Amino acid sequence: MRKTAAMILSLFLMSGTAFADTPKDGDPQPAQTAKSKKPAKKPAKSATAILAEQVEALRQSMEANNNRLDNCRTSWRSATRKLATQRMQLQPPMPRLATQRPKPRLRPAARRR
């Protein structure tokens, strides 16, 4: 029983590979074989090379974002300065009135002998 099963299995495997190797039309056309050839693949990049590229891209994007942030900060500072000068021109600071007294300074406690 085992021998017959082994013979049938081997016959099936041999005929399967024979059918798989034969083309559909019988004779392959030379034009199709030329088209089916693929160019040589580029060698695969290592994991460290891929990570290095990703890190470099992230570094460049962070540098660009920092530059934009610095530009925003400087424009915000200049805008606040302009606003402060405009505010001073429109409304000068109120002078101190004679009735207003300055806040008293705290004196240190006297030493006892």
pLDDT tens, position by position, for the chain (113 residues)? 778 877 777 767 776 655 565 556 655 565 555 555 666 677 788 889 999 999 999 999 999 999 999 999 999 999 999 998 888 888 766 666 666 666 667 766 666 65
**Residue tagged 């207003």 (tokens):** 100
Q: How far is CA 26 from CA 16, 23, 31, in A?
A: 17, 5, 15
pTM over 0.85: no
Q: Helix, strand, coil % (nearest 5) of the chain?
A: 65, 0, 35
CA gap 19, 89 in Å, rounded:
95
- Cα–Cα distance for residue pair 85/77, rounded to 1 Å: 12
